[in-house]
Amino acid sequence: MTDTSLTRLTRLTARLPREVDGRIRAMAIASLIGQIVLILTGGAVRLTASGLGCPTWPRCTSGSLATTPEMGVHGIIEFGNRLLTFALTAVALIMLVMLWNLRKERKDLFWLAVGLLASVPAQAVIGGITVLTQLNPWVVGLHFLVSMVLVVLSMLLVNRAYGRTGRVMDRSYPALPSSMAPTMMVTAVAAAAAVVLGVVVTGAGPHAGDANAPRNGLDWDLFSHIHAVPAYLVAFGALFALVVALARRIQGPFRNGVLVLLGLTVLQAAIGITQYYTGIPALLVAAHMLVSALLMAAAVNAADVARYSPRA
């Protein structure tokens, strides 16, 4: 490296944050929103039968990196979803650069950002395998599950960036009963189990992403009912936590977090039951996917706050 290049690099690092500021927090929020939007656009690809809108990978067609007019609206939808992956990679990279001066002081933020940056390209590769396997339902499901993992990482990143949780907290919370932290952890695990079983249900359902895409061959009706079991556990855990918070007059982020979690759980249950009895319309499936991402983030947030709250 020349002296000129070294000087420029030194000037650049000098401009980077030396404490967690609004720029870092904004990138954390952008990451969380982007991961949720990616789930929604991925759902749009499948629900509009655009899964093979770009029939090859990494190019959209054998002769074009981008979609072509001949690919029509399906090509636009599929290629748009691919572009969003690049945008999220840029967000993760910017976040990592912003944290460079804090890489030792705030290892929690730095390694979460590393995880996001490493996972987004991996997600793109899984998406490519999805196309190359002609929308194999298990690969499609893995694609969705990795997106959910990224939502979890992004939610933790937001909490740490705002000093809500973690070893560098800038606020204090009301004491919680000792049962709350394990209760919310079990609730978050149940939410994750509901997501995994939802993927199985989706793989057996009608919205395959393409008319000729294979299904997993499982009993859709049976697994729909199995999928509901962990959802009941999430509802019970959130309701129990809210009752305890109200009974003990616990204010602040924990009570607000479980209230949001319970509200999203009730909304998700209403959407799920409605789509079950109305023939699984595409718009309701899209809503179900969106709320599942929000619910997962809410469950992680509630468990994270409970973990770092003092014990009564």
- pLDDT single digits (tens) 274-294: 999 998 898 999 999 999 999
The pLDDT of residue 112 is 94
The pLDDT of residue 163 is 94
Choice between 208 and 244, residue whose per-residue pLDDT is larger? 244
pLDDT for 169-195, tens place per residue? 888 899 999 999 999 999 999 999 999
Q: What are phi and psi of 222, to 5 degrees?
A: -60, -50
The pLDDT of residue 312 is 81
pLDDT for 83-140, tens place per residue? 888 888 899 999 999 998 999 999 999 999 999 998 877 888 888 888 888 888 898 8
Give the torsion through C-alpha atoms of 92, 95, 99, 100, to 10 deg.
60
CA-nearest of 130, 121, 144 to 56 is: 130
107 Cβ contact list (under 8 Å, min separation 6): none
Choice between 167 and 187, residue whose per-residue pLDDT is larger? 187
| CA atoms within a 13 Å half-sphere pointing along the CA-CB vector of 65 | 1
CA distances 129 to 43, 211, 268, Å, are 17, 18, 30
| Cα angle 225, 226, 232; round to 5 | 85
The pLDDT of residue 203 is 87
Q: Give yes or no for a contact between 171 and 159, defined as CB atoms under 8 angstroms apart.
A: no
pLDDT for 4-55, tens place per residue? 667 776 776 778 888 999 999 999 999 999 999 999 988 888 888 887 778 8
166 Cβ contact list (under 8 Å, min separation 6): 108, 159, 160, 308
The pLDDT of residue 246 is 95
Q: Look at residue 1 and tell me whether its pLDDT is greater than 70.
A: no
The pLDDT of residue 211 is 66
Choice between 261 and 17, residue whose per-residue pLDDT is larger? 261
pTM over cut 0.75: yes
66: confidence class by pLDDT, cuts 50, 70, 90: confident
Mean pLDDT confidence for 59-63: 78
Mean pLDDT confidence for 218-230: 92
The pLDDT of residue 132 is 84
pLDDT for 235-248, tens place per residue? 999 999 999 999 99
Q: Say how far apart CA 142 and CA 253 lie, in whole Å.
A: 32
Residue entry with tokens 């690092």: 13
